[in-house]
Amino acid sequence: MRVLVVAEYYPRVADPALGVWAHRQALAARDAGADVEVVVLHRPVPSKAALKARDARRLIAPLKQPLRTTMDGIRVTYAPFVAPPRPRSYPAWGAWAAPSLRLAVQGRRFDLVHAHYAAPAGDAVRRLGLPTVVSVHGGDVLGVATKWSKGRAVVERSLRAARLVLANSTGIADISRDLGAQDVRVVHLGTDVPPRTTTGSDLVTVGNLVARKRHADVIRALPPDARYVIIGDGPERANLQQLARGKDVVFRGALAPDQALQEARKAGVFVLPSTEEAFGVAYIEAMAAGLPAIGTRGEPGPEEIARCGGGMTLAGPGELEHAIRDTLANRAALGRAARANVEANFTWRQCGEATVAAYEDALR
């Protein structure tokens, strides 16, 4: 079975952490028996952060991205495309990317195409006329479909065109059905399970420093004797550093994926009370090392992880401070439950097997 994976978010030379979960799922599917290649929809435009900082290296990085490479034995092609600025046109990027995608696969045969996100990748892929599986991850059905003009119509067309839609949680599966998906199943992303569990006691968060991640709420709820380690960077950093004055808060900045994971797994409790959290690989990566996690009640990702097993504490409005204190007090038992939950439900082997089973069903 020859499978083409199409993704917008995928590791690049300038950002090896971007969409690394998509690469890991491709590896897991390959290890489970699929012959996988990848095409990345690559818009060679610098980020807003690079423009604001006037960092010459970061400004030209998208233009220097090699268009062909091999990552862990998987052939990866970067298909550059042009499109208007994101705020005005993001739902339409699939139409802009489709010609480049078609050119990238010209003359090659694939049995199935697997698109990550209903838009723009799903919208670009449906124009190829091949059997398609679409993975929805939240940003499409929670963002594009609700926050952009004409976004809902684009997402609905992509989901209806797919033979099978893969959702990362039960909540996202339900939303996908409401948006027109005909056949939906939940396939969880995964993580590696390290040989040892943590003996740390710090609180830790891994994530971009943006408002929806709610780092500020954690700082406000921090017990006086607790240390909080923040791994990541973003536009909220200055405000968070100001808020953290007088408290034991350490800002580690953005780290390479392996280093970020290694540092996070030295802590004792993983806390990420974010909103619009469709799944959250960072939770299960930490839980695999025996860190209990804290997420927000009502969010699809934390609710899904809690539904599958133990080790996840859900905090509603006004409950975060109590959740932090209770989780710290019961860290050892909750950590054992967290690791067992991951071993039972969230490994890359399980993800790969479920993904290939979905491919096979989509081709029947």
Ordered strands of the 293-296 beta sheet: 249-253, 228-231, 203-206, 269-271, 293-296, 312-315
CA distances from 85 to 45, 92, 295 (A): 9, 11, 33
How many angstroms separate the CA atoms of 234 and 254, rounded? 9
Look at the block and give the residue holding tokens 């990552």. Answer: 71
How many angstroms separate the CA atoms of 150 and 126, rounded? 17
The per-residue pLDDT for range 141-156, each reduced to its tens digit, is 999 999 998 999 999 9
Q: What is the residue-level pLDDT of the chain in tens, covering all 364 positions?
A: 999 999 999 999 988 889 999 999 999 999 999 999 999 999 998 766 666 667 777 778 788 899 999 999 999 999 999 999 988 899 999 999 999 999 999 999 999 999 999 999 999 999 999 999 999 999 999 999 999 989 999 999 999 999 999 999 999 999 999 999 999 999 999 999 999 999 899 999 999 999 999 999 999 999 999 999 999 999 999 999 999 999 999 999 999 888 999 999 999 999 999 999 999 999 999 999 999 999 999 999 999 999 999 999 999 999 999 999 999 999 999 999 999 999 999 999 999 999 999 999 999 9
pLDDT score of 59:
75
> How do the domains of the chain map onto residue ranges?
2-190+348-362, 203-345
How many angstroms separate the CA atoms of 102 and 128, rounded? 7
pLDDT score of 49:
66
Burial of 87 (0-12, 13-18, 19+ CB in 10 A): exposed
How many angstroms separate the CA atoms of 12 and 10, rounded? 6
pLDDT score of 53:
67
Q: Largest Cα–Cα distance of the chain, in whole Å?
A: 63
Which fold does the domain 203-345 belong to in CATH? Rossmann fold (3.40.50)
CA distances from 21 to 124, 147, 235, 268, 282 (A): 21, 25, 23, 23, 10
For residues 167 and 188, the answer to whether their CB atoms sit within 8 Å is no
CATH topology agreement for domains 2-190+348-362 and 203-345: yes
**CB neighbours of 207 closer than 8 A, spacing ≥ 6?**
213, 215, 231, 232, 272, 274, 282
3-state secondary structure of 197: coil
For residues 154 and 171, the answer to whether their CB atoms sit within 8 Å is no
The per-residue pLDDT for range 117-128, each reduced to its tens digit, is 999 999 999 999
Tell me if the domain spanning 2-190+348-362 has CATH number 3.40.50.300. no
CA dihedral 71, 77, 83, 89 (to 10 degrees): -60
The per-residue pLDDT for range 44-98, each reduced to its tens digit, is 987 666 666 677 777 787 888 999 999 999 999 999 999 999 888 999 999 999 9
- What is the separation of C-alpha 125 from the centre of its chain, rounded to a whole number of angstroms? 20
pTM higher than the cut 0.85: yes
